Structure 1
Amino acid sequence: MVEFTRRNLMATSAAAALGASVVGAGRTTAEDVDTSRAPLVRGDLKRFSTTAFGAEVTGPFVFGDGTLLYSLQHPDRENPAPYDKAAVGYFSDFQFSFDGDSDFEELATPETNEERRTVRSAAGDYEILARERDRINGGTELLGVPQTPDGTNITSENFSGSQYADAGYTPDCNQFVATNDEGTEGYLFTNWEASPGNVSRIPLSQTEDGEWEADLENARNLANTAALRELGGTRINCYGDLSPWETMLSAEENYGHPRVALTASVGDIVEQGTGKGLRGAHEFWNRPNPSQIQSAVESYYDDAWNVQGYWAITGVEHLAYYLGADPVDQSAGGKNDLTPIGDEYPNPYRYGYIVDFRDPAAETPEPVKYYVMGRAAWECPDVQSDERTVYLASDGDSKGIYKFVADRPIPSYDDPMDVAGTLYAPYVTNRDAAVERPAADVDLEIEWVELGYASNAEVESWIAEYDDITQVEYLETHTDWMDGDEVTPEILEAADKAVIEGGNRDYVTDEEIVEWADQYETRGPDGVDEALRRVPFIETRAAAKEIGATIEFNKAEGIDSVEAAAPGDYVYFGISELNDDMSNEMGTLQVERVDGGVVYRAELESDYNVSTLEPVIVGPDASDPAAIADDALINVDNLSVLDDGRVLCCEDADQFGRSYKNDCLYVYTPEDGLGDGDGPR
């Protein structure tokens, strides 16, 4: 057992971290090397589908009868109809058999331009149920498109300023909640990966001949309900899961949450005496034209750095309009001018959570955010069958996987705001043994570091203390500017530089995070001052990094296990890219680089803990030729485990040396056989 103290967990010296950050904190640009034993599959991998050009394979869901559904996310607009628009569809006349890997022959690679611009499958035809901006809810809404409180669609046609994604263009997770025993009627919940975020609910039913039909007349965008708006709405709803209590769990992939770049910690900033080279996007959330901070930094400094997550604070001003803010003057060439928003503005600590849609068949489902599970760029949750243990993946560079354990089964709480439990971050204990070894040969041994204990209501009360901070406050707090004065480029620069130097003083401060970590070391996680208990729940990544947890995973994209998984079954973790801080000298893991990513699995122990991540699929090198890359899993994204233990693996691929430029859906069969969710094989 490792004794977890801040002193023996901190793995990288401040000097090393600062050196990397000052010269640039972007993606690693090292030349690709020939990694041993990459690609590799421990078992069998078969291509089931290729998606239309430009589109990701997202949101796989398999109905009880074995029918597969997935989203066609952001396809190329030059594809022939209907593949030129984002859509959700299913594969007609095909069902997985759940009795082995004999239900389809592998799909060949696409050979022609026509094949590359359609959805192809090994069996069945892709039948579209709904497409972006279809008219829904009696014609009052457009599918996937949030509205302002007065009913104006939040689209680029109606609002200027930065936009995270075209409204309705990015459907992701799909989960079907049946409303009859046969599983032939129910509601399809779909995430929309944008800002403002959205979750739609479409009634589905199965006909007598096994086909599925969507009732768009009675479909709804839940973003436009008062219940979700009262929570502040959502941001960047990405993947998710169907909970054991049969509700949609939507993950907010809030990429804009980093307050420090890559391997740096807040302690590095305090030691350096400035945040220059180290500040992340969170600190500029309230800036007028927030996503322009990167270009601003590049104009302020000759030695500029990558403000991690800056691109993901696009759409924050649109989120303010969703909440009811009056749009500022938008006549400046399609961009907001420097007039600050001073009425409604989103609180950054209200985004980056798992959202549970309770009572899913009600006229308006009840949305609940599990603040107590921590704040991050969540790609997905995976709730175990004990209904207490939750594994979570935070997407992006130098992020983490996390664990939350509730005191008792989550649905047993009469009020979900009473859910209470402990949040954990990972610490890889065999880092030295992994240095410069092929990823295929390295099992990652994990111990879980307790970050803190709280209830959902407690965390929400801490978050509420930061409500009503607007762009006006950003300027007033960090300069001598007063509301009503003209905002000049010089004023904005002064505010930005004040934040770069001393942090955003409207939110949790650098000093509070460092003090929390100091008290954590001397008193333990339960002994910190009451005022500091909030730190690991609303500044999760910064807190975990400050005590030296292993926050180096690059694009932790998918987690899933078989339904009703028991001790002895596996949880699968998809790491889209094993590079940057997992493989360079700045990180502490330093396994050999695999740009194509790795799928790990971990066996559930008697208490639903996992402690060993075993690589079962290793992607190719970026330099591998088409003969290798064509049939390899590249940049795994969503994962979904079938009832028989096979794993659906979706790609969000760079394609590397492939002869085609399409993402694929693969079916993985483990080499040691299939499970049934009833424990050890």
Structure 2
Amino acid sequence: MVDQPKRNLMKASIATLVGAGVAGVASGAGDSYRGYSPDDSTDDDDTLTEGAPSVVGDLKRFSTTAFGAEMTGPFVFEDGTLLISVQHPSRNNPAPYDKGGVGYYRGFQFEFEGTNDDFTESPAPVEEQQDTVWAADAKFEYLIQEGDPINGGTERWGIVETPDGREVTPENFAGTTYGDPGYNMDCNQFVATNDDGTEGYLFTNDENSPGNVMRTPLRKTEDDEWEADPENAINTVNTNAFREIGGTRINCYGDLSPWETMISSEENYAHPRANLTGTISDIIEAGDGEGLRGAAYFWNRPNPSEIQTAINEYDEVDGWSVQGYWNMTGVEHLAYYLGADPVESGDGNPIDPIGDVYPNPYRYGYHVDIREPTADEPQPVKYYVMGRAAWEAPDILPDERTVYGCSDGDSKGIYKFVADRPISSYQDPMDVAGTLYAPKITNDEAASGKSPAEVPLEIEWWELGHASNVEIESWITEYDDVTQVDYLESHTNWSEGDKVTEEVLKEADLEVIENGNSDYISDEAIVEWAEQYEKQGPNCVDEELRRVPFLETRAAAKEIGASIEFNKAEGVDSKDDARPGDYIYFGISEFNDDMDNQAPDDGGDIALDRVDGGVVYRAELGPRYDVSTLEPVVVGPDFTSEEAMKDVDDSLRNVDNVYAMRDGRVLLCEDGWRGGNRSYPNDALYVYEPEETERRGPPGGDPPGRNDPPGRDSGR
């Protein structure tokens, strides 16, 4: 055990943190290495946010990842070994760090004693160390990488195929791409097949469109090393079971369910209807969607991701940033994966509409439970009842009923779902039923303009609606036959078979900008749902409107005044055996934009000082796994002033994945968007040690609520 002095362990209240910084570690890397400068992106006209950075407890850097990569996909095995993904590293790194993949820290194991004394802090990486995965106490070793032959040589790891077995790559097909296939691996969850957790299947997300979840057999050898079995690995999405539910897209982080299955979360950024803080009522009151509509309206447009370029060029409208437009890249390739007649590579991305098979937008943006994980063909189930969003991750609590989820991006929400009874008790997971909730921040101090380090967020949960998975799927199927042909036919006089011109496409775009996309849920339906909700409550709306909060979750929650103001809510987790009195952690990657000093009279519930480096909150779990107060425990650096830069090297910056270990410590991974504010450009993995031992509920027996009878009011 390494006896390191703890850095910045503060035995005090939040108020005492104000002005306290995390001690820096000197780096020998030149300021201009890789073209980065620590002076980049500062704004000396902005004042330093008090308490940024600061920590309630101990924060210690374990590792940095290869240049260009996000630090993602942490998983800790039963023996304490840590595994991570190397997501989209620079192609200019030396091999093997020029390719994405999954690997582990050889020669190191966490001791699970609740203290950060079990590892040596990794110093800031210098020069060649920045090209690799670097840690002081261990050597990183890849287990498998993008494109490796798998499944008896019939597939490549991370590469999605069409129904007839062609690889969906830009080399084969025209159309936009979200990222290199197999290059964006993120979440890892290990499903053990023996009692001591030394053999099993590793499930790995590929954050792409079409998305992927790879299953790779792993085992621990007699030499205490881990090894993969590529020969028997598969891309689960290349199975009929996945294709039958529309496949998946932008698979980001996830969770290991209490019933030992991989939960893969779809980060569907293309779901916004109203831009940023806008609402559907704003669009209707304006009589036009110019400047207000988001990407969702243009999903079935021929060449959908080009809507931003088109809007910027149309003289009839003033250009604006269409929230989520970039996330519609790869939609054409998703159609080819599902069986659409593909356009061959080299033919550009024509505006001729895809009219045979096209992805239904309401089939993406969910938590995907991969049931029967060890079967030859695992069975995926999408939890439509938990709402549709740009999901980063869920945390399924031990009662198997309560689920918290984080939606990534600007002006997004954290949501709560409570099942009528334990999810694993449903013989058919499509019968899972429960209540979806949106957050409401209630304390006036949350809009006081103070530092986020000083202000907890008091939260209530507003019920959006109750439904079952199977009935929501019946609503979704109503949109399965909508294609790009409908975009033109519904919004112009064009008919299938007519020539498609830029003028026809422009006419359709301008009609959608003004009046919305009539192929999907209408603006009027969302506003009508909200009006009935306000008058009659969530359970007394018209039957045809019950779909609104489940298929248009963000738009519905904003319409009733919920606090959909979080910017990049990227992580949520608690210990696997968490009980009432323990903590759940939420990672907000950036505390700016909607959360930054917006005037309370503008309707914002959160208006605090800016912290571009983000905030990690914790909340004590209540008697029924409810959450009522978010307490800031790790506050990142303020990137807006030169004074703040001195603390950036050694502070958590832009938290992404959050992983709670069984001893109460928390792994905090970075997705840093301003590498230049450090002396090194790499993302890091920090280990957070809370300042106090986690509290526990009554010992013995099932967690409260686990075997309670079904009830619609549970979890409030």
TM category, shorter:
over 0.9
Partner residue in 1 for 2:326: 311
**What is the alpha-carbon root mean square deviation over aligned residues?**
1.7
Q: Secondary structure at the match of 1:440?
A: coil
Partner residue in 2 for 1:659: 679
2:456 is the alignment partner of 1:477? no
Spell out the pairing of 1:25-174 with structure 2 (5 A cutoff).
32-99=46-113, 100-111=115-126, 113-174=127-188
| Aligned residue type for 2:629 | T
Partner residue in 2 for 1:6: none
The answer to whether the 8 A contact 1:569-1:679 is kept is: no
| Aligned residue type for 1:646 | R
**Partner Cα distance (2:250, 2:43) in 1:** 27
Q: 2:656 aligns with which of 612, 626, 637?
A: 637
The answer to whether the 8 A contact 2:654-2:670 is kept is: yes
Partner residue in 1 for 2:565: 552
**Partner Cα distance (2:101, 2:697) in 1:** 32
CA shift in 2, pair 1:91/1:448, >3 Å: same
**Partner Cα distance (1:71, 1:648) in 2:** 14
Partner residue in 2 for 1:221: 235
2:348 is the alignment partner of 1:348? no
Partner residue in 2 for 1:543: 556
**Partner Cα distance (2:548, 2:144) in 1:** 42
The answer to whether the 8 A contact 2:441-2:605 is kept is: no
Partner residue in 1 for 2:713: none
Q: Secondary structure at the match of 1:191?
A: strand
Per-residue deviation at 1:434?
Answer: 3.4
Partner residue in 1 for 2:616: 599
Unaligned runs of 5+ in 2: 1-40, 701-716
**Partner Cα distance (1:348, 1:314) in 2:** 13
Partner residue in 1 for 2:688: 668
**Partner Cα distance (1:451, 1:433) in 2:** 23
CA shift in 2, pair 1:31/1:427, >3 Å: farther
**Partner Cα distance (1:300, 1:29) in 2:** 34
The answer to whether the 8 A contact 2:581-2:695 is kept is: no
| Aligned residue type for 1:615 | P
Per-residue deviation at 1:337?
Answer: 1.1
1:215-273 CA-to-partner distances (Å, cap 9, x unmatched) read 00000001101100110000100000000010000000000111110000001111111
- Under a length normalisation based on structure 1, what TM-score does the superposition of the two structures give? 0.94
**Partner Cα distance (2:148, 2:516) in 1:** 44
CA shift in 2, pair 1:515/1:674, >3 Å: closer
Per-residue deviation at 1:161?
Answer: 1.4
The answer to whether the 8 A contact 2:392-2:571 is kept is: yes
2:521 is the alignment partner of 1:501? no
Deviates more, 1:197-206 or 1:151-160: 151-160
**Partner Cα distance (2:345, 2:142) in 1:** 37
**Partner Cα distance (1:102, 1:116) in 2:** 25
**Partner Cα distance (2:547, 2:694) in 1:** 42
The answer to whether the 8 A contact 1:563-1:677 is kept is: no
Partner residue in 1 for 2:633: 616
1:51-84 CA-to-partner distances (Å, cap 9, x unmatched) read 1110111000000000000000000011111101
The answer to whether the 8 A contact 1:28-1:580 is kept is: no
The answer to whether the 8 A contact 1:331-1:337 is kept is: no
**Partner Cα distance (2:232, 2:665) in 1:** 35
Partner residue in 2 for 1:19: none
Deviates more, 1:625-634 or 1:409-418: 625-634
**Partner Cα distance (1:123, 1:160) in 2:** 46
Partner residue in 1 for 2:469: 456
Partner residue in 2 for 1:4: none
Per-residue deviation at 1:517?
Answer: 0.4
The answer to whether the 8 A contact 1:655-1:662 is kept is: yes
| Aligned residue type for 2:190 | F
2:279 is the alignment partner of 1:265? yes
**Partner Cα distance (1:294, 1:679) in 2:** 56
Q: Secondary structure at the match of 1:372?
A: helix
**Partner Cα distance (2:300, 2:42) in 1:** 29
The answer to whether the 8 A contact 1:519-1:528 is kept is: yes
How many percent of aligned residue pairs carry the same amino acid?
66
**Partner Cα distance (1:676, 1:107) in 2:** 32
The answer to whether the 8 A contact 2:445-2:455 is kept is: no
The answer to whether the 8 A contact 2:446-2:607 is kept is: no
Q: Secondary structure at the match of 2:677?
A: coil
Unaligned runs of 5+ in 1: 1-26
Partner residue in 2 for 1:274: 288
CA shift in 2, pair 1:429/1:452, >3 Å: same
Aligned residues: 651
Q: Secondary structure at the match of 2:281?
A: helix
Per-residue deviation at 1:432?
Answer: 4.8
CA shift in 2, pair 1:595/1:433, >3 Å: closer
1:391-441 CA-to-partner distances (Å, cap 9, x unmatched) read 000000000000000000000000101100000000000145532110001
CA shift in 2, pair 1:32/1:469, >3 Å: farther
CA shift in 2, pair 1:258/1:415, >3 Å: same
| Aligned residue type for 2:297 | E
Q: Secondary structure at the match of 2:320?
A: coil
Deviates more, 1:555-564 or 1:579-588: 579-588
CA shift in 2, pair 1:234/1:593, >3 Å: same
The answer to whether the 8 A contact 1:568-1:679 is kept is: no
Per-residue deviation at 1:182?
Answer: 1.4
**Partner Cα distance (1:503, 1:329) in 2:** 32
Spell out the pairing of 1:69-468 with structure 2 (5 A cutoff).
69-99=83-113, 100-111=115-126, 113-301=127-315, 303-328=318-343, 331-332=346-347, 335-468=348-481
**Partner Cα distance (2:424, 2:613) in 1:** 38
Per-residue deviation at 1:382?
Answer: 0.1
The answer to whether the 8 A contact 1:443-1:613 is kept is: yes
Q: Secondary structure at the match of 1:90?
A: strand
- Under a length normalisation based on structure 2, what TM-score does the superposition of the two structures give? 0.89
**Partner Cα distance (1:194, 1:462) in 2:** 26
The answer to whether the 8 A contact 1:565-1:678 is kept is: no
